[in-house]
Amino acid sequence: MGKHLTKNDRIKMETMLNSGHKVTEVAAYLHVHRSTIYREMKRGEYTHRNSDYTEEVRYSSDLGQKNHDWNAQGKGRSLKIGNDMPLAEYIEDKIVNDKYSPEAALAAVTQSGIEFKTSISVRTLYRYIDNGIFLKLTNKDLPIKGKRKKHNKKVKVQKRASAGESIENRPEEVKDRETFGHWEMDTVKGKQGITKSCMLVLTERKTRDEIIIKMPDQKAASVVEALDRLERKWGDMFPKVFRSITVDNGVEFADYEGLERSVLHDGEKRTFLFYCHPYSSWERGTNENSNRLIRRHIPKGEDFEEKQDKDIEYIETWINNYPRGILGFKTSAQLFEEEIKKLA
């Protein structure tokens, strides 16, 4: 009985075991020794969590086959994650459904408080994904795979620099990201030539906290109105929370006086604006990186018109609760809340 199990054998084995057949019955049907079935059960074993939160050990033909293929290719011992299906499912859910990167997914595992049987490194996780170990997760589900293509971004700009304050005069405390309350602002546009509406995006430089506001168009007056609403929301806290805002030379940010002028206190400034050099969007690097997170939910070319406030709020909440490597895998929401408490 030196027969090796095939993929179809494993599928039949899973069906019979789930139907309550004994190991000896499965072995007889597949014409193998019962020890072969026991070894295969160990290879494809995982813990299934039922809807009532009880757990039971089951056999997965898919997992058994993947472990077999892995070992047959001489790539090492049985997969660590093969013995912890809840961990595999948690990682799959975070990457496939919640659009997390592998690094962020593993950070979420640590922060979840859930006790899993095993743990894996980022390098191992990427290797599992590359080799098709997961049942639902593939490279296509990763937000960025490989090197990003370099390209020149076309930005709608004025022919000359803004009359507002140049980024060259921005205080050092803004540049070093050590002081809270300095923001970058940009607009994310919808389908070109079809969608008038856009999103105004503000990113706090220290905490990377994100504020997203849907606007009917890209007119300068709409941006001023959006900041007016934001000032009314924050009240007298606004000047402390929004000490400065850095923007590019887009025509939507042309009214620097209107953007700086307080709507609550006549004759007073609510913030200070600084303008990047023309065609230099990289001077708002934090903003640009955060916009990529938005694009995980709204790809370029997608129409914004049908996006409701609740959709925008979901994206904002998702970004601010996303574990960021640059923040030591803390979230922007955590850090932002800490800074606000200091101001209170």
CA atoms of 312 and 309, how far apart (whole Å): 5
Residues of the chain with pLDDT > 70: what percent? 86
Question: What does the pLDDT read at residue 323?
Answer: 93
pLDDT of 146-191, one tens digit each? 444 444 444 444 444 566 888 889 988 888 889 999 999 999 887 7
The residue with greater pLDDT, 19 or 162, is 19
Report strand pairing: 244-247 vs 272-275: parallel
Nearest residue to 303 (alpha-carbon basis) of 196, 220, 226, 222: 196
Question: What does the pLDDT read at residue 25?
Answer: 94
Mean pLDDT of 261-275: 96
User: Whole-prediction pTM value?
Assistant: 0.69
- Residue at token pair 């050092």: 172
CA atoms of 224 and 247, how far apart (whole Å): 13
Question: What does the pLDDT read at residue 157?
Answer: 45
Burial class (CB in 10 A: 0-12, 13-18, 19+), 80: middle
Mean pLDDT of 248-269: 95
3-state secondary structure of 161: coil
Q: Which element (helix H / strand E) includes 108?
A: helix 102-112
The residue with greater pLDDT, 194 or 4, is 4
Mean pLDDT of 23-34: 92
Q: 265-271: long-range contacts at Cβ-Cβ below 8 A with a sequence spacing of 24 or more?
A: 269/239, 270/227, 270/231, 270/238, 270/239, 270/242, 271/238, 271/239, 271/242, 271/243, 271/244, 271/245
CA dihedral 101, 310, 197, 262 (to 10 degrees): -100
Question: What does the pLDDT read at residue 285?
Answer: 60
Query: How do the domains of the chain map onto residue ranges?
Result: 7-78, 85-141, 167-343
Q: Which element (helix H / strand E) includes 186?
A: strand 182-189
Question: What does the pLDDT read at residue 305?
Answer: 78
pLDDT of 318-337, one tens digit each? 999 999 999 999 999 999 99
167-343 placed in CATH 3.30.420.10: yes
3-state secondary structure of 268: coil
CA dihedral 52, 55, 61, 63 (to 10 degrees): 110
Cβ-Cβ contacts under 8 Å for 39 (sequence gap 6 or more): none
